[in-house]
Copies of this chain bind each other. A is one copy, B any other.
Amino acid sequence: MTTIKTSPARPTIADVAEKAGVSIATVSRVLNATAMVDEETALRVRLAVEALDYRPHAAARTLASRKTDTLGLLLPEISGAFFQPLLRGVETAASEAGYDLLVHTTRNPNTRGMPRRPLAEHNTDGLLVFTDSLDARELSRLSNTGFPAVLLYQTPPSGIDLPVVTIENKNGARRIVDHLIEVHGCRRILFLRGPQGHEDSGWREQGYCESLQAHNIPLDSSLITGGGFNRHEARQALAQLLDKGLAFDAVFAGADDAAVGVLLALRQAGRRVPDEIALVGFDDQEFASTMLPLLTTVRAPTEQVGLEAVRVLVRLIRKQPVQPRWVLPTELIIRESCGCHSH
């Protein structure tokens, strides 16, 4: 058993002041460089800080200065391959700007029925809100109180004035479907769209439709199916369609992870990719470039979204003007799973 110790009282700014023979105001000044302090005095203070191993108390500082130096990140869930690059971007930019990161998961079971603690407001200087982690009511409250917040991958409901950082979904989808049709002559392209009501998902569907239309291929609604963005749901969904005997010559999965599910289902059914069926995804997650066959997909600048969102948020916090909408470009990545040969 680890021994339980009573922690010796932590030194406060007053202890430092006393040891250095100055007032607490002076200590605060040298710590924050907020005013001129005689070099010699400053040295004495720094020595005292060192000697006592003093660390300012964050909450006290926050209370007095009304800033927390931390950013809140609201996510449905923290794991999932998709969030990796996003987190990396957010974390990098936050750290560069001198902020800590407070992560809040919303899809988690609430603490024994108690409503989750009132948001990260008051705890943070600003909020990054991922799609669907906050309802319209909360969003509108944020907007109304002028609390700095930026939305990720989600256009705010009308009347709510919060900046958005998202990606070019429709065009990306459009181009990859074009590729399937023009280069590989596909005509019956199964589209696995993501979760119902998901904004990205909707745009990708539009891109799909537009491409078909542009190539005079009639829309066949039996070729559009739901199934979420993850591999398990996708796998199941596809297995079902396969069972029903649905005919198609290509699959456009709304997310790379779903594409893996499709691949698994296809493989199990003995259908070869890309020889019999072309397969493409969306996102260009890391595994897309190492799986077999290498996945043709649309690269979504996910890390960039995180980076940019933090920058916008920081501008907002500093009360600098910001653009209301950032749409980062996507890029078509041709590899093998569509039937092309990678170099």
Contact = CB atoms under 8 A, between A and B. Distances in A.
Residue in A10, A95, A260 with the greatest tally of chain B CB atoms within 10 Å: A95
B79 A87 contact: yes
* Majority SS at the chain A contact face: loop
Interface stretch (A112-120, A181-189, A244-252): A112-120
Given A77-B88, A84-B80, A322 B100 contact: no
Contacts of A80: 84
Residue in A69, A81, A100, A146 with the greatest tally of chain B CB atoms within 10 Å: A100
B290 A260 contact: yes
B3 A161 contact: yes
Contact of A291 (B2, B77, B291): B291
B2 A322 contact: yes
Given A59-B59, A59-B62, A322-B2, A78 B69 contact: no
Contact of A120 (B85, B87, B100): B100
Contacts of A29: none
Contacts of A162: 2
A203 interface: no
A213 to B, nearest CB: 34
A111 interface: yes
Interface string A285-298: 01100111000000
B108 A95 contact: yes
A1 B146 contact: no
Interface residues of A, number: 74
Count of this chain's copies in the oligomeric assembly: 2
A55 B7 contact: no
Nearest to A100: B102
A332 B164 CA distance: 46
Nearest to A66: B59
Interface string A1-28: 1111111101000000000000000000
Contacts of A88: 77-79
Contacts of A103: 91, 100-103
Interface in A146-161: 146-147, 161
Contacts of A287: 287, 291
A96 B85 CA distance: 26
Given A55-B121, A63-B63, 20 more contacts: A1-B321, A2-B161, A2-B163, A3-B161, A4-B319, A55-B119, A56-B118, A59-B60, A59-B68, A79-B91, A84-B84, A92-B108, A96-B111, A98-B111, A100-B103, A100-B123, A101-B104, A102-B102, A102-B103, A291-B291
